[in-house]
């Protein structure tokens, strides 16, 4: 059982006294801010108003300690006392700001005359010429300050001392500061929304990975865990929240203004990136007072009144209980607050005790939100609650092992969601949602290992780039594979001892391998090598293998799989890109068998087939690898799919399609063979095979929707999807009922979407008719919530200005975030170039499109063949503006460039991309590396087009000549 942090009544009262005592300082800082307001807060001066600045420059020659991005190991924080006063109204210069002060108590670990503490974009007050005050505690002698300054490149407050700090002694560093409460979605920032015609402002936080230093000076590294005492001063009518439970708020008056001061109990020992505080006038629903853990769902008052938080409250308790049982460890906090924010850069953030979410990730309205919205809420809640132990209680030592946090939480989020909604088959859906997608990314020469050396990840921009699909989805995939070959029971037992040993501490991946090995040994499970030896090959080298099985000879081989066979892998691997592969297979519907492929090639006679047998490998895609077969077995699998596809497990039907298409991209099999794996789909009604086929055929449409092949492709899709369209028409009694199965609800969307895009008779009339009914009666939207995205998109594509303007008005007035998201996507579907250009102009106005949504808007438009060249030109023309206004974390330039260039497949487009990279890399610096995989993909697309256009044309015409 995890240890709680005990606080006596005496200590609690002392905390309140200290909080009241700092009030005068915060008031004084508001005056300081008035003096500073003429300065550019974004650039953040390095001094307070009462002294001359000590500007820093990076010295030449040998590096000084403050030139390194990692903190020295000379000091260790113990606890912080932080008081903050966010202003929810702008000053006369129309700037929002906050004032505050911090006292950090730290222990000297080794003798030093230097204090380095992170501080970024804060205006620090100056005391007698110094940016801080230092005090020795418990009788320790206080060294006098020699010099202080802000080292902007490495984001440090540097404090040089005349005499050294002594090992074992405690000291206190005191700072006062002013910061901008900006809308950049990082650190301590503001979120805005309109309710009943009134603009409202929320002060909230996003500290991960390196933005706690924007809220107050701190030792801002994961291993620098401490206890935090937080005090917030806020307006009457608002509530203050933080990680811990609050004491009773106190009414105070400052310069005639009536305010509230809320102090909080000390947190558990935790990392700075997990801190959170919010000031808002939200409402909440919660558990009853007798609940073991207080659970509250916070959101805009109207959202709570409409019941949008009810589903989250209903599922949080059971998921929390599931993880307590799964980890065999009690939840260590008194409460679990979850809050939905109008502006939030990520999906959610696992702040310990105060989880922050985008509204779409926490709020659900049964009458308006779709089945997919509901699943998203469930999996995101599960993901964040999984972090309460794995990530928060036990934390990675440094960001190079971020995958330990995020990959693990992604994997077990499906287990928690499966427990909360057992009818949904979430354990299978991880294959589509995570594994299939990340395999496409990891098959690039520009991929990266899950875990790298610490010295490779130093700067904040390097850390931020780790928050990618490799870290999340590949991390989940390899842990799922590990859990499968050691069994889920043994996996969870290893996690329990791991959490028990390292609670409130930090670790690296080797600690996890050690505890899983202990569980494996105790259970007597055979493995060909240790857990560490097996798994290091999956986390310390990028990519994965393609396993080729020859069913005529029993020969089995592995090779590093690359989508572009001409790409050059210049990242060395100590394992020479070979893996220990757990190969599973079934023959002709028999029982599952397993074999460990430990070398580049081997022979296993059990893989040899009889004359009428077939074999499929990687059962349920538990292994993170692709499978290729000899030509004879490919033919037998395609024949089996055509004759009786149900004999092959549904996940493997999807896998056969996905493997074949990706092997074709890599020129390992013919593209026509990949297409032949879809010929059985006119008899298939399950979601996973159809969704996999749709995603892979989407690539063909991206490549050919501007060419003469578009017609034959559309005809082939129409031939295959027409039976599915009629199947769901019958299942839903002519579209009047909702399918019962979770995955059927998804596949109904596929049926309508593909039927409309391929012009199946009656589809466009159906969607346009539903949309017209809504336009005629805007207060009543009877369109099935699951179908809204595809209906809206198809109706706007088939319509004109009237449909677009109506959707825009509905978007502007939407009070439910998931509904707004659907409309935001649908607006990109118009075929009118002038409407697309208008939408692009709207995207640069935060009053029209929230900053958090701009990336999505650009990518949505780029998926429209008419919109893609328009948004490409628009981005290049407005790049400087985007960098200046949105380049502080509001949008992801990497995702924008990746989305905008998916269609690129010509020499001209490749040249354009290269020129654009040269134009912007000076501004972006090392962040411009996201162009490299995009250029690689464009080159691969060019080669693929040249190789496949003619044979594809012949095959498609042969399949559709009767239509």
Catalytic residue (choose from 221, 384, 406, 684): 384
C-alpha to C-alpha distance for 629 and 677, rounded to whole angstroms: 13
Q: What three-state secondary structure class fits 269?
A: coil
Six-digit token pair at 725? 């369209």
Residue 697, token pair as written in the block: 């055929």
Element (H, E) at 879: helix 879-886
Distance CA 181, CA 168 (A): 37
**What does the alpha-carbon distance between residue 216 and residue 141 come to, in Å, rounded to a whole number?**
26
What are 724's two structure tokens?
Answer: 């599915």
Residue 505 parent element (H or E)? strand 505-507
Tokens read off for 767: 């969607």
Active site residue 384: yes
Alpha carbon distances (Å) from 551 to 557, 615, 622: 12, 8, 21
Q: Give the span between the Cα atoms of 406 and 613, in whole angstroms.
A: 42
**CA torsion, ordered 444, 449, 455, 456, to nearest 10 deg:** 10
Q: Pick the closest to residue 648 from 613, 615, 612, 607 (CA basis).
A: 615
Q: Using DSSP, how many helices (H) and how many strands (E) does the chain show?
A: 32, 29
Each as own residue / partner, the long-range contacts of residues 592-597 (CB below 8 Å, 24 or more positions apart, any chain) are 592/619, 594/485, 595/556, 596/528, 597/547, 597/556, 597/558
In this structure, the chain runs to a length of 963
Distance CA 733, CA 192 (A): 44
Q: Which residues contact 428 (CB under 8 A, 6 or more apart)?
A: 620, 650, 651, 688
- Give the separation between CA 900 and CA 902, rounded to whole angstroms: 6
Give the integer Cα–Cα distance in Å for 860 and 666.
27
Residue 163: strand, helix, or coil = strand
Is residue 357 within 8 A of residue 341, CB to CB? The reply is yes
> Which has the closest alpha carbon to 623: 683, 545, 724, 550?
545
Annotated catalytic sites, by residue? 384
């Amino acid at each position: 059982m995890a240890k709680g942090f005990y606080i006596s009544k005496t200590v609690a009262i002392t905390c309140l006294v200290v909080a009241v005592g700092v009030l005068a300082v915060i008031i004084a800082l508001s005056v300081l801010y008035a003096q500073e307001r003429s300065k550019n807060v974004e650039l953040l001066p390095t001094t307070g108003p009462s002294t001359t600045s000590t500007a820093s420059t990076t010295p030449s020659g040998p590096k000084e300690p403050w030139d390194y991005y990692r903190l020295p190991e000379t000091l260790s924080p113990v606890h912080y006392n932080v008081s903050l006063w966010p202003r929810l109204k702008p000053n006369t210069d129309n700037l929002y700001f906050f004032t505050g002060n911090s006292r950090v108590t730290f222990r000297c670990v080794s003798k030093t005359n230097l204090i380095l503490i992170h501080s970024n974009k804060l205006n620090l007050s100056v005391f007698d010429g110094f940016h801080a005050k230092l005090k020795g505690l418990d009788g320790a002698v206080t060294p006098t300050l020699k010099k202080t300054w802000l080292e902007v490149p490495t984001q440090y407050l540097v404090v040089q001392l005349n005499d050294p700090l002594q090992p074992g002694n405690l000291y206190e560093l005191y700072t006062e500061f002013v910061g901008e409460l900006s809308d950049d979605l990082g650190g301590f920032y503001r979120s805005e929304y309109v309710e009943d015609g009134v603009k409202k402002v929320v002060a909230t936080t996003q500290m991960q990975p390196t933005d706690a230093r924007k809220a107050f000076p701190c030792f801002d590294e994961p291993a620098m865990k401490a206890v935090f005492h937080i005090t917030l001063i806020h307006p009457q009518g608002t509530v203050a929240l933080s990680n811990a439970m609050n004491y009773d708020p106190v009414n105070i008056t400052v310069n005639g203004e009536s305010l509230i001061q809320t102090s909080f109990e000390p947190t558990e020992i935790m990392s700075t990136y997990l801190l959170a505080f919010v000031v808002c006038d939200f409402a909440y629903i919660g558990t009853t007072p007798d609940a073991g853990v207080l659970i509250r769902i916070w959101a805009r008052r109207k959202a709570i009144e409409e019941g949008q938080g009810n589903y989250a409250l209903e599922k949080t308790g059971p998921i929390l209980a599931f993880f307590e049982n799964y980890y065999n460890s009690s939840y260590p906090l008194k409460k679990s607050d979850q809050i939905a924010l109008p502006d939030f850069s990520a999906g959610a953030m696992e702040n310990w005790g105060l989880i922050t979410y985008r509204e779409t990730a926490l709020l659900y309205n049964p009458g308006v939100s779709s089945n997919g919205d509901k699943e998203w809420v469930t999996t995101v809640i599960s993901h964040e609650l999984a972090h309460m132990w794995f990530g928060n209680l036990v934390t990675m030592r440094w960001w190079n092992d971020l995958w330990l946090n995020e990959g693990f939480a992604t994997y077990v989020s499906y287990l928690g969601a499966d427990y909360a909604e057992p009818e949904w088959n979430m354990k299978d859906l991880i294959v589509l949602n995570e594994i299939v997608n990340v395999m496409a990314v990891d098959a690039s020469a520009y991929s990266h290992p899950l875990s790298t050396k610490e010295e490779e990840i130093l700067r904040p921009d390097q850390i931020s780039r780790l928050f990618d699909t490799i870290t999340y989805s590949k991390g989940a995939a390899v842990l799922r594979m590990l859990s499968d070959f050691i069994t889920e029971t043994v996996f969870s037992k290893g996690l329990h001892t791991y959490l028990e040993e390292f609670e409130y501490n930090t670790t690296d991946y080797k600690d996890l391998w050690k505890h899983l090995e202990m569980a494996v040994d105790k259970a007597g499970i055979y493995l060909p090598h240790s857990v560490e030896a097996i798994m290091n090959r999956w986390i310390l080298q990028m990519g994965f293998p393609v396993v080729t099985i020859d069913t005529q000879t029993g020969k089995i081989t592995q090779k590093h799989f690359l989508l572009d066979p001409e790409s050059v892998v210049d990242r060395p691997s100590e394992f020479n890109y070979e893996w220990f592969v757990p190969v599973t297979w079934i023959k002709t519907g028999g029982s599952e068998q397993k074999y460990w492929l430990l070398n580049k090639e081997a022979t296993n006679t059990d893989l040899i087939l009889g004359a009428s047998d077939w074999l499929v490998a990687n059962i349920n895609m538990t292994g993170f690898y692709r499978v290729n077969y000899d030509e004879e077995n490919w033919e037998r699998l395609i024949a089996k799919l055509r004759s009786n596809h149900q004999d092959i497990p549904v996940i493997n039907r999807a896998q056969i399609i996905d493997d074949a298409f990706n092997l074709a991209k890599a020129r390992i099999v013919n593209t026509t063979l990949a297409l032949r794996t879809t010929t059985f789909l006119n008899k298939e009604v399950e979601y996973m095979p159809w969704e996999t086929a749709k995603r892979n055929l989407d690539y063909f449409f991206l490549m050919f929707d501007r060419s003469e092949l578009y017609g034959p492709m559309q005809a082939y899709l129409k031939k295959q999807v027409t039976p599915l369209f009629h199947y769901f028409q019958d299942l839903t009694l002519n579209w009047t009922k909702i399918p019962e199965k979770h995955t059927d609800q998804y596949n109904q969307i596929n049926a309508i979407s593909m039927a409309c895009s391929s012009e199946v008779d009656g589809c466009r009339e159906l969607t346009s008719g539903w949309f017209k009914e809504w336009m005629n009666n805007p207060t009543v939207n009877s369109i099935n919530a699951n179908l809204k995205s595809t209906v809206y998109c198809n109706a706007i594509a088939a319509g004109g200005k009237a449909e677009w303007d109506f959707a825009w008005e509905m978007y502007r007035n939407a009070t439910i975030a998931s509904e707004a998201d659907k409309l935001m996507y649908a607006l990109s579907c118009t075929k009118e170039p002038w409407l697309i250009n208008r939408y692009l102009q709207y995207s640069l106005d935060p009053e029209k499109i929230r900053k958090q949504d701009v990336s999505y808007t650009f990518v949505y438009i780029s998926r429209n063949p008419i919109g893609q060249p328009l948004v490409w030109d628009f981005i290049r023309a407005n790049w400087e503006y985007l960098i200046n206004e949105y380049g502080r974390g509001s949008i992801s330039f990497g995702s924008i460039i990746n989305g905008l260039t998916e269609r690129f497949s010509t020499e001209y487009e490749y040249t354009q991309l290269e020129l654009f990279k040269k134009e912007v890399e000076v501004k972006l610096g090392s962040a411009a590396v996201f162009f490299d995989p995009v250029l690689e993909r464009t080159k691969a697309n060019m080669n693929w087009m040249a190789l496949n256009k003619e044979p594809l044309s012949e095959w498609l015409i042969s399949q559709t000549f009767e239509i």
